[in-house]
Structure 1
Amino acid sequence: MAKEGEGEAPLRRLRLLSLHLDPSSSSSYGGSLALVPCGGGGGGAAARRRRPSAVSVAELTEYMRGRHRGIQMRVFEFFASRPELATPVEVATAEHREICMRQLSALVREAGIRPLSLMDDDPSAYFAVLEAAGGVDISLGVKLGVQYSLWGGTVINLGTEKHREKYFDGIDNLDYPGCFAMTELHHGSNVQGLQTTATFDPLTDEFIIDTPNDGAIKWWIGNAAVHGKFATVFAKLILPLQEEAGGSADMGVHAFIVPIRDLKTHAVLPGIEIHDCGHKIGLNGVDNGALRFRSVRIPRDNLLNRFGDLSKDGKYTSPLPTVNKRFAATLGELVGGRVGIAYTSVSVLKVAVTIATRYSLLRHQFGPPKEPEVSILDYQSHQHKLMPMLASTYAFHFTTLYLVDKYSEMKKSHDDDVVADVHALSAGLKAYVTSYTAKSLSVCREACGGHGYAAVNRFGILRNDHDIFQTFEGDNTVLLQQVAADLLKQYKEKFKGGTLTVTWNYLRESMASYLSQPNPVTTRWEGTDHLRDPNFQLDAFRYRTSRLLQSVAVRIRKHTKTLGGFGAWNRCLNHLLTLAESHIESVILAKFIDAVQRCPDENTRGVLKLLCDLYALDRIWKDIGTYRNVDYVAPNKAKAIHKLTEYLSFQVRGFARELVDAFDLPDLVTRAPIGMQSEAYSQYTQYIGF
């Protein structure tokens, strides 16, 4: 026995060494000991078969680009042929605004792009144009969104046929530049609390638009400061009651078309006061202004009356019975803005990751003694910064494509379940993706060292222009609360036997399967095949979401007894935000797994599987405390997840160049000298005059 004991110690040391070299070697599977170099793939026989030997950029690009890449290339080629329309690196606010307007006018009137027609006929084509415009200049993408998603979108989605006939062509061809006047100085996210009023005057058959106090001034209104001629104004519809009754009735927030400048002279119209919101942190190509209305009269027909109408004799009618239902229907038609922001945010992340990855491959520093310097992307710390981010970018790409498809389905079907699904999904993805991108932009800048600080290399511009994405079209914290509220509603419906909308389908399965004690054997499995199994990954994400949902429901019920509904919600707010983020991550992973499984080319599918595994395991590791606290993952399994995450980052690094090339970003979009595909240093030195 003594001799056997003496022999076991070196064997244990050998086994530990093999685990360092190959994280897939796992005693939990009882496999034979094998020393596999890191460069050889590792992961056991099955994992080795899954690891692709090479990446076809053309195949990967073809699978990712979608059916509207043609119209995007049309936009890119147009601006590449018109260098005088390029936005300079250093540009004053007034000049930037005029360049941005010239860019939009040229896109519509010279390149022949008709964004409102695209949005009406094929929303996915419209979002492709929006992404391409943002690639030229994020200010251009936002200005296009204000004109067509917001101003144009309210007219065609909240109005009726008479509004379409009168305004559609003028909005589409840019003869009628307009604004979306919802946000007020004192009220942004709480739209039902808006104070601007639209009082009906039956004697003249007009509405009188008024700003009752300074807090009701419309603020941050894009296109208002310089270029807008119309505004969709959100205001409370006030109806005078019969003389014998006296007083007035508040019918809730409605949308009204209000001309703000003369169509010919561009002079500000009587009763309207417009001020410039001034220089901003970013997006200075967009002219944000503040609007005050002093007894501005508009025809009754300027009420966008799809969900509420008023006859000449002052009789109000609506297909919806309550103020809250009308309000919900109105906001539900405006989710296209959030869809566009989530989609565009991913494109900004692609640019940043591309620049940082290409530079990290180009830049060499230090290395073994008396040997050549190595690429900084060969350092594990740099891989840890950028490779999970690259995987997340792919995950977001496929999920936002799914969101656009669901939005297109919603516009065609008007199915209530799809409407509810898109509302919650667009809120959650907009909040999650924009927050992730905002943080990642700083990481990418730091990953490029001092050269990332040069304005020409884009990170400062991208960071400043994108930052507001976390705030407009709904503050991210507020949007996540909407997701949490919908989850709680769906949870309640589950136990009432009701139906669940598409996104929440996994709640159809018994909550007990997620909330029971974890299988003590499964919690210890640490083999690579198990950890890379999409069923394990998805179960882990959904288990976390289900536990969070069940526990916050219990907490809210408990606190409601003593604090009331609002107090209980506020007491549990951080818990609710974590729940919403967990759910959105579950959706992102599910859509990424679907994209991997649908990929027809085996080698491309293998590359996407590698990225998907890295995304999933990196997210599990970042929240490993939660999984350990509920004994879903044993200590040895947690270590295996960490080790495999680092190893997958190393594997992805081997394909990093091809993976960013597959985004198919033209130089017009990337622009940063350090982010070029070749001769980056040469272009960088030429830029400063060498």
Structure 2
Amino acid sequence: MQTPNPDPTPDDDESQSVARRIQRLSLHLTPIPSPLDDGHQIERVECAKAAAKLNVDTDSLSSYMRGKHREIQDRVLDYFNKRPDLQTPVEILKDDHRELCMRQLTALVRDAGIRPFRYVAEDPAKYFAILEAVGSVDMSLGIKMGVQYSLWGGSVLNLGTKKHKDKYFDGIDNLEYPGCFAMTELHHGSNVQGLQTMATFDPITDEFIINTPNDGAIKWWIGNAAVHGKFATVFAKLMLPTHDKRGVSDMGVHAFIVPIRDLNTHQTLPGIEINDCGHKIGLNGVDNGALRFRSVRIPRDNLLNRFGDVSRDGKYTSSLPSINKRFAATLGELVGGRVGLAYSSGSVLKIAGAIAIRYSLLRQQFGPPKQPEVSILDYQSQQHKLMPMLASTYAFHFATLHLVDKYSEMKKTHDEQLVADVHSLSAGLKAYVTSYTAKSLSICREACGGHGYAAVNRFGSLRNDHDIFQTFEGDNTVLLQQVAGDLLKQYQEKFQGGTLTVTWNYLRDSMNSYLSQPNPVTARWESEDHLRDSKFQLDAFRYRTSRLLQSVAIRLRKHSKTLGSFGAWNRCLNHLLTLAESHIESVILAKFIEAVQNCADASSRAALKLVCDLYALDRIWKDIGTYRNVDYVAPNKAKAIHKLTEYLSFRVRNIAGELVDAFDIPDYVTRAPIAMQSDAYSQYTQYVGF
């Protein structure tokens, strides 16, 4: 096998390209027969060919999808179904929504006996299952629960030590200590190391003094702050007094517990200014506020000191040697929020997809002359909108379950490689899934025509509430850059002889494949068996990622000579984002293929295989230019991929109802009249008063 050259010159790349073109031209003169089908002529995909509809055992598929935490999710959903007073109406004022949201969370914890905080550290998979169910009741409720337990509570558990857990755990758990997570500032969101809020140690009183030095440092968009929060985990630069001319030493960003309201009177405490961020595009059940601190004193023990501590005499100690390593360790413990958003975003896509597909099966429009009208899902254009989206929903389900499992393992083992892997995977999946879902919500609305515009059918609220998922817990563009940066780090540091973490280890083999010429024979295979072969699909995804990684590394090296590292990165930014998305798609497909192979029930496995093939081939077709440009796919093969993708969309349409039913989302959760499994139009007309 050819030894990969991790640092080829542009001339090498050009010579390989020339060789590929020469070989490609020679194939026109001397066609090579395909070895498939025992020497028989390559069969062409006939999209019009009749195929038997798959029989899908919906119960078996649903059991496989929902897994071991189905019972607690059903408890949550059943509880809210029996409490109409806790259900969110279609039309509700901001202040009323906030109070309802707090009542919903309090009732869940104190009345229904669901205690999510106990699972944050002990059983994260169970916590995320509860979060998914709660978010399907009201997305604002899901976010409020996440702020209380994953962010405020999680910061105490993950960044504090035993003294903090002993003091705060019960109060956070039972909602006596509602709290906030005060990281983002008016001028700084994604650049956490650039935060300006200061926590200066006063050795005389043994206290930290929390200060907002300017308006740009006001904590902004802080959930739970405007109305309900009594504590805040405040991220600030830890400043220690020194005996030299500097006066203070900046030890980097640390987290501090700061009381913001009196526990008994709920009055704002001295030195703290709280203002309401006001009405938002969505999630108005969450009370986002802005916080300013004016010389607020807190005990030294309120420093969350897992990664850095200050002694009574003002000495700083840490097990980590530098500001950057402490910062990385701190943020590494907060990836649970990203995991939850990726997982929850997939749940939103399930609900929207269920509404759009059920309506598309119900709604009839036009048809052949003098014959009954046909379902709008029988139209190829509607299938093109919704079937690849349904396939993606299944793909995201298994990918985010994998992420939750890896996160749970990380919390148990604290393995360094696993921590790094989860950090990058959570960044990539959160960015990719939330961006795709945001676009799909608009497609679902459009696919349901005028009825999709009715607020009662939920696309508006789902779209508006979900929209911010693309921004909080890390802006998606920034997160994809983190993924690209990690890919380049793996490429530069570990490609030759190093041990790659699990998510990345495919790169070595696929990079070898990239550095050799594409096989001119397989580039022309176009049989359905070949195109539906999971090895072909995964190889294609990984080849694309490897090619993008190799080419961007060359470009960065070239531009850095004249533009510097920052300028080179900015010049190649769109390339880097495409690389990150390509890698994440490769991971998603790999996990989907595994899920198909691990499914024991034959009927469910056949359905999942069909959906997986649609997901893979639709993605390949959407980026067919990349494959054509390097002769990875010949023209006839590209046409075959397109035809087969349309045919698979038609076949998935035939079982779309069963696939949606397998999500096991009751009517009282989807709530949209047009999505009801029976008497949909009747319930819709009753809603408006007929």
TM range (shorter): over 0.9
Q: TM-score scaled by structure 2?
A: 0.93
Aligned to 2:365: 365
- Mapping for residues 132-151 of structure 1, pairs under 5 Å: 132-151=133-152
The whole-number CA distance in structure 1 between the counterparts of 2:246 and 2:384 is 69
The whole-number CA distance in structure 2 between the counterparts of 1:491 and 1:246 is 41
The whole-number CA distance in structure 1 between the counterparts of 2:683 and 2:527 is 47
The whole-number CA distance in structure 2 between the counterparts of 1:158 and 1:258 is 14
- Mapping for residues 35-54 of structure 1, pairs under 5 Å: 41=50, 53-54=54-55
The whole-number CA distance in structure 2 between the counterparts of 1:245 and 1:616 is 62
Higher relative contact order (CA 8 A, sep 6+): 2
Q: Deviations over 1:518-554 (max 9, x none)?
A: 1111100000000000000000000000000000000
Q: Tell me how far 1:666 sits from its aligned partner.
A: 1.4
Q: Tell me how far 1:512 sits from its aligned partner.
A: 2.3
Aligned to 1:413: 413
The whole-number CA distance in structure 2 between the counterparts of 1:82 and 1:160 is 39
SS at match of 2:505: helix
The whole-number CA distance in structure 1 between the counterparts of 2:245 and 2:355 is 68
Is 1:375 the counterpart of 2:409? The answer is no
Contact 1:28 1:526 in 2 (8 A): no
Q: Tell me how far 1:103 sits from its aligned partner.
A: 0.3
Contact 1:28 1:527 in 2 (8 A): no
Aligned to 1:252: 252
Aligned to 1:557: 557
Is 1:684 the counterpart of 2:684? The answer is yes
Is 1:329 the counterpart of 2:303? The answer is no
Q: Deviations over 1:636-674 (max 9, x none)?
A: 000000000000000000001000000000122200000
Aligned to 1:583: 583
Contact 2:144 2:223 in 1 (8 A): yes
- 1:57 counterpart letter in structure 2: T
Aligned to 2:21: none
Aligned to 2:84: 83
SS at match of 2:494: helix
- 2:110 counterpart letter in structure 1: R
Is 1:640 the counterpart of 2:640? The answer is yes
SS at match of 2:370: coil
SS at match of 2:329: helix
Q: Tell me how far 1:517 sits from its aligned partner.
A: 1.3
Aligned to 1:45: none
Aligned to 1:464: 464
Distance 1:59 1:214, change over 3 A: same
Distance 1:638 1:234, change over 3 A: same
Contact 1:349 1:393 in 2 (8 A): yes
- Mapping for residues 292-307 of structure 1, pairs under 5 Å: 292-307=292-307
- 1:374 counterpart letter in structure 2: V
- Mapping for residues 385-404 of structure 1, pairs under 5 Å: 385-404=385-404
SS at match of 1:68: helix
Aligned to 1:59: 60
- 1:216 counterpart letter in structure 2: A
SS at match of 1:401: helix
- 1:420 counterpart letter in structure 2: A
Aligned to 2:218: 217
Aligned to 2:592: 592
The whole-number CA distance in structure 1 between the counterparts of 2:559 and 2:41 is 55
Contact 2:617 2:641 in 1 (8 A): yes
Aligned to 1:16: none
- Mapping for residues 611-650 of structure 1, pairs under 5 Å: 611-650=611-650
Q: Tell me how far 1:27 sits from its aligned partner.
A: 10
SS at match of 2:88: coil
Q: Tell me how far 1:462 sits from its aligned partner.
A: 0.1
Deviates more, 1:497-506 or 1:605-614: 497-506
- Mapping for residues 235-250 of structure 1, pairs under 5 Å: 235-242=236-243, 245=245, 247-250=247-250
Contact 2:42 2:525 in 1 (8 A): no
Structure 2: 5+ residue stretches without partners: 1-33
Q: Tell me how far 1:511 sits from its aligned partner.
A: 1.8
Q: Tell me how far 1:245 sits from its aligned partner.
A: 5.0
Distance 1:35 1:427, change over 3 A: closer
SS at match of 2:228: coil
Q: Tell me how far 1:348 sits from its aligned partner.
A: 0.2
Distance 1:463 1:671, change over 3 A: same
Aligned to 2:652: 652
Structure 1: 5+ residue stretches without partners: 1-24, 43-50
Q: Deviations over 1:255-289 (max 9, x none)?
A: 00000000000000000000000000000000000
Is 1:163 the counterpart of 2:168? The answer is no
Contact 1:258 1:298 in 2 (8 A): yes
- 1:302 counterpart letter in structure 2: N
Is 1:109 the counterpart of 2:110? The answer is yes
Contact 2:48 2:647 in 1 (8 A): no
Aligned to 2:19: none
Q: CA RMSD in A?
A: 1.6
Distance 1:603 1:41, change over 3 A: farther
The whole-number CA distance in structure 2 between the counterparts of 1:586 and 1:523 is 20
Is 1:129 the counterpart of 2:130? The answer is yes
Percent identity between matched residues is 80
Aligned to 2:179: 178
- 1:364 counterpart letter in structure 2: Q
Q: Tell me how far 1:53 sits from its aligned partner.
A: 2.9
Q: Tell me how far 1:154 sits from its aligned partner.
A: 0.2
Aligned to 1:481: 481
Distance 1:169 1:232, change over 3 A: same
- 1:451 counterpart letter in structure 2: H
SS at match of 2:263: coil
Q: Tell me how far 1:516 sits from its aligned partner.
A: 1.7
Is 1:120 the counterpart of 2:121? The answer is yes
Contact 2:480 2:577 in 1 (8 A): yes
The whole-number CA distance in structure 1 between the counterparts of 2:661 and 2:83 is 24
The whole-number CA distance in structure 2 between the counterparts of 1:215 and 1:281 is 23
Is 1:533 the counterpart of 2:533? The answer is yes
Aligned to 2:499: 499
Q: Tell me how far 1:246 sits from its aligned partner.
A: 5.2
Aligned to 1:68: 69
- 1:337 counterpart letter in structure 2: G
The whole-number CA distance in structure 2 between the counterparts of 1:409 and 1:625 is 39
Distance 1:29 1:252, change over 3 A: same
Contact 1:72 1:128 in 2 (8 A): yes
The whole-number CA distance in structure 1 between the counterparts of 2:472 and 2:252 is 22
Q: Tell me how far 1:36 sits from its aligned partner.
A: 10
Contact 1:179 1:222 in 2 (8 A): yes
Q: Deviations over 1:446-505 (max 9, x none)?
A: 000000000000000000000000000000000000000000000112344222111101
Contact 2:147 2:223 in 1 (8 A): yes
Distance 1:247 1:633, change over 3 A: same
Contact 1:523 1:637 in 2 (8 A): yes
Distance 1:549 1:32, change over 3 A: closer
Q: Tell me how far 1:31 sits from its aligned partner.
A: 4.3
Q: Tell me how far 1:514 sits from its aligned partner.
A: 2.3
SS at match of 1:565: helix
The whole-number CA distance in structure 1 between the counterparts of 2:624 and 2:476 is 24
Contact 1:207 1:300 in 2 (8 A): yes
Contact 1:52 1:603 in 2 (8 A): no
The whole-number CA distance in structure 1 between the counterparts of 2:274 and 2:515 is 56
Q: Tell me how far 1:509 sits from its aligned partner.
A: 2.1
Q: Tell me how far 1:371 sits from its aligned partner.
A: 0.5
Aligned to 1:203: 204
The whole-number CA distance in structure 1 between the counterparts of 2:672 and 2:222 is 31
Contact 1:230 1:258 in 2 (8 A): yes
- 1:70 counterpart letter in structure 2: E
SS at match of 1:95: helix
Aligned to 1:46: none
- 1:150 counterpart letter in structure 2: L
Is 1:189 the counterpart of 2:190? The answer is yes
Contact 2:252 2:323 in 1 (8 A): yes
- 2:425 counterpart letter in structure 1: L
Aligned to 1:672: 672
Aligned to 1:9: none
The whole-number CA distance in structure 1 between the counterparts of 2:309 and 2:494 is 37
- 2:662 counterpart letter in structure 1: A
- 1:183 counterpart letter in structure 2: T
Contact 1:355 1:675 in 2 (8 A): yes
Aligned to 1:290: 290
